[in-house]
Amino acid sequence: MFGLRALEHMRQASGSRTLLATLYRTPLPVVSKLSSYTSEWAADFAAVKEAVDTGSATIVDVRNPGELQEEGKIPKAINLPLPELKQAMELSAEEFQQKYGCARPGQTEPLILHCKGGIRAAKAAGQLTESGYSNLKVYQGSFADWVSNGGPVEK
């Protein structure tokens, strides 16, 4: 189980959103929203492939840079490591461009978040929701699913 499905499973098993908020250090209202709208927040392989092929959404990889160097990345994905995500999105457009080599996504721009298995991507969705981002999807299987479905990988 990955990402939002894992969050929902844990919420149901524990009966407590407070446990999830503690585990993921995500504010309770955000955890509630993420777990209540699992299907609305979910992206699958086909949605990510479409974003790669058409540019319909910005793909954000929240893994650490070493993971990308070792395993590769989904084509066109921008790397915003989870530990610096919130700070990165608060940079000015110019600072963001300089540091990450691309334009900073707008708060209503479609974003698909992924990591290796989905947990960090779900946490990233919580952080971005807190910061006012509203058009988010979490690739539940994340990079592991991408590779297992034969998606192209850039090294």
pLDDT > 70 fraction of the chain, expressed in percent and rounded: 75
Number of domains in the chain: 1
* Encoded tokens for 31: 């955890």
* Residue 34 or residue 133, greater confidence: 133
Q: What's this model's pTM, rounded to 2 decimal places? A: 0.78
What pLDDT, on the 0 to 100 scale, is given for residue 41?
Answer: 85
Computed over every residue of the chain, the mean pLDDT equals 84
Containing structural domain, residue 82: 41-148
Distance between start and end Cα atoms, the chain = 26
User: How sure is the predictor about 5, in pLDDT bands with cuts at 50, 70 and 90?
Assistant: low
Q: Which residues is 79 bridged to in the sheet?
A: 61
What pLDDT, on the 0 to 100 scale, is given for residue 4?
Answer: 52
What pLDDT, on the 0 to 100 scale, is given for residue 22?
Answer: 39
Task: Assess contact for 114 and 122: CB atoms under 8 A.
Answer: no
The backbone torsions φ and ψ at residue 111, rounded to the nearest 5 degrees and listed phi first, read -125, 135
Residue 19 lies in a domain: no
- Could you give the dihedral angle defined by the CA atoms of residues 122, 124, 127 and 133, in that order, rounded to the nearest 10 degrees? -100
CATH number at residue 49: 3.40.250.10
Known catalytic residue at 115? yes
DSSP-derived secondary structure for 23-38: HHT--HHHHHHHHHTH
Active-site residue among 43, 111, 112, 115?
115
